[in-house]
Amino acid sequence: MKDEVIDYDFASCDATSLQVLDEPGRNAETKSYTYCIRGGPPERSVILYEYNALLHKQFVTDWFEGFTGYLHVDGDNFFDMIGEKDKTHLVNCNAHARRSTPRKVRNNLKVKVLPPKLAQSMEYQVLSSQKQ
Protein backbone atom coordinates (compact mmCIF):
# COMPACT_ATOMS: atom_id res chain seq x y z
CA MET A 1 0.00 0.00 0.00
CA LYS A 2 2.92 2.35 0.61
CA ASP A 3 3.85 1.91 -3.06
CA GLU A 4 0.50 3.43 -4.06
CA VAL A 5 1.46 6.61 -2.16
CA ILE A 6 5.06 6.75 -3.41
CA ASP A 7 4.16 6.07 -7.06
CA TYR A 8 1.49 8.80 -7.31
CA ASP A 9 2.33 12.51 -7.61
CA PHE A 10 0.23 13.86 -4.74
CA ALA A 11 0.14 12.85 -1.08
CA SER A 12 -0.56 14.34 2.32
CA CYS A 13 0.98 13.69 5.69
CA ASP A 14 0.08 14.93 9.15
CA ALA A 15 1.92 14.19 12.38
CA THR A 16 0.06 14.07 15.68
CA SER A 17 1.89 13.90 18.97
CA LEU A 18 0.89 11.32 21.51
CA GLN A 19 2.04 10.10 24.86
CA VAL A 20 2.76 6.40 25.20
CA LEU A 21 2.71 5.05 28.74
CA ASP A 22 4.96 2.16 29.78
CA GLU A 23 6.96 2.10 26.57
CA PRO A 24 10.20 0.17 27.18
CA GLY A 25 13.24 2.42 27.53
CA ARG A 26 11.33 5.72 27.40
CA ASN A 27 9.84 8.09 29.94
CA ALA A 28 6.08 8.51 29.81
CA GLU A 29 6.60 12.26 29.24
CA THR A 30 8.57 11.69 26.04
CA LYS A 31 6.69 12.82 22.95
CA SER A 32 6.07 10.32 20.17
CA TYR A 33 4.22 10.82 16.91
CA THR A 34 1.77 8.98 14.77
CA TYR A 35 1.59 9.93 11.12
CA CYS A 36 -1.50 9.87 8.95
CA ILE A 37 -0.37 9.49 5.34
CA ARG A 38 -2.78 9.62 2.44
CA GLY A 39 -2.10 9.22 -1.25
CA GLY A 40 -2.37 7.10 -4.33
CA PRO A 41 -4.47 7.50 -7.44
CA PRO A 42 -8.19 8.25 -6.90
CA GLU A 43 -9.28 4.71 -7.78
CA ARG A 44 -6.71 3.16 -5.39
CA SER A 45 -6.17 5.80 -2.69
CA VAL A 46 -4.93 4.63 0.68
CA ILE A 47 -4.73 6.03 4.19
CA LEU A 48 -1.90 4.69 6.31
CA TYR A 49 -0.97 5.28 9.93
CA GLU A 50 2.60 4.93 11.12
CA TYR A 51 3.94 5.23 14.66
CA ASN A 52 7.40 6.69 15.25
CA ALA A 53 9.15 7.30 18.55
CA LEU A 54 12.45 8.87 17.43
CA LEU A 55 14.27 10.86 14.75
CA HIS A 56 11.18 12.32 13.14
CA LYS A 57 12.89 14.16 10.26
CA GLN A 58 14.77 11.03 9.29
CA PHE A 59 11.63 8.87 9.60
CA VAL A 60 9.64 11.12 7.26
CA THR A 61 12.54 11.44 4.81
CA ASP A 62 12.98 7.66 4.69
CA TRP A 63 9.23 7.04 4.39
CA PHE A 64 8.89 9.31 1.36
CA GLU A 65 12.06 8.08 -0.35
CA GLY A 66 11.32 7.87 -4.08
CA PHE A 67 8.29 10.16 -3.93
CA THR A 68 8.12 12.92 -6.53
CA GLY A 69 5.30 15.40 -6.72
CA TYR A 70 3.34 17.49 -4.24
CA LEU A 71 3.23 16.68 -0.55
CA HIS A 72 0.55 18.48 1.47
CA VAL A 73 1.84 19.05 5.03
CA ASP A 74 1.55 21.43 7.95
CA GLY A 75 4.39 23.80 8.79
CA ASP A 76 6.20 21.30 11.00
CA ASN A 77 9.94 21.14 10.48
CA PHE A 78 9.76 17.33 10.14
CA PHE A 79 9.15 17.90 6.45
CA ASP A 80 11.99 20.33 5.70
CA MET A 81 14.36 17.66 4.41
CA ILE A 82 11.73 16.36 1.97
CA GLY A 83 11.16 19.86 0.60
CA GLU A 84 14.87 20.12 -0.20
CA LYS A 85 14.60 17.36 -2.82
CA ASP A 86 14.44 18.56 -6.43
CA LYS A 87 11.26 16.79 -7.47
CA THR A 88 9.25 17.03 -4.25
CA HIS A 89 7.27 20.18 -3.53
CA LEU A 90 5.78 20.91 -0.13
CA VAL A 91 2.28 22.33 -0.22
CA ASN A 92 1.59 23.87 3.15
CA CYS A 93 -1.74 23.80 4.92
CA ASN A 94 -3.49 27.21 4.90
CA ALA A 95 -4.98 26.67 8.36
CA HIS A 96 -1.52 26.26 9.85
CA ALA A 97 -0.15 29.22 7.88
CA ARG A 98 -2.97 31.41 9.16
CA ARG A 99 -2.13 30.51 12.76
CA SER A 100 1.47 31.67 12.43
CA THR A 101 0.83 34.83 10.38
CA PRO A 102 0.06 37.21 13.31
CA ARG A 103 3.21 36.06 15.10
CA LYS A 104 5.29 36.59 11.96
CA VAL A 105 3.82 40.05 11.46
CA ARG A 106 4.64 40.94 15.07
CA ASN A 107 8.17 39.60 14.69
CA ASN A 108 8.69 41.61 11.51
CA LEU A 109 7.39 44.71 13.26
CA LYS A 110 9.91 44.24 16.08
CA VAL A 111 12.85 44.11 13.67
CA LYS A 112 11.34 46.93 11.58
CA VAL A 113 11.21 44.89 8.37
CA LEU A 114 7.81 46.40 7.57
CA PRO A 115 6.84 50.00 8.19
CA PRO A 116 5.11 49.98 11.61
CA LYS A 117 1.74 51.24 10.35
CA LEU A 118 1.66 48.62 7.60
CA ALA A 119 2.58 45.83 10.00
CA GLN A 120 -0.07 46.98 12.48
CA SER A 121 -2.68 47.09 9.71
CA MET A 122 -1.74 43.61 8.46
CA GLU A 123 -1.87 42.17 11.96
CA TYR A 124 -5.31 43.70 12.53
CA GLN A 125 -6.61 42.28 9.23
CA VAL A 126 -5.30 38.81 9.99
CA LEU A 127 -6.69 38.78 13.54
CA SER A 128 -10.06 40.13 12.34
CA SER A 129 -10.36 37.47 9.65
CA GLN A 130 -9.66 34.71 12.22
CA LYS A 131 -12.55 35.85 14.42
CA GLN A 132 -15.09 35.47 11.61
pLDDT of residue 87: 84
Coil, helix or strand at residue 22:
coil
Give the residue extent of every domain in the chain: 2-92, 95-131
C-alpha closest to that of 87 among 10, 3, 35: 10
Average pLDDT, the chain: 77
Which residues are CB-contacts of 50 (< 8 A; sequence separation ≥ 6)? Answer: 34, 35, 37, 59, 63
pLDDT of residue 125: 61
pLDDT of residue 32: 85
Chain segment 17-52, per-residue pLDDT in tens = 888 888 888 887 888 889 999 999 989 999 999 998
Give strand pairing partners of 33.
17, 52
Confidence of residue 106 (pLDDT cuts 50, 70, 90): low
- Greater model confidence, 111 or 73: 73
Asked if residues 15 and 78 have their Cβ atoms less than 8 Å apart, the reply is yes
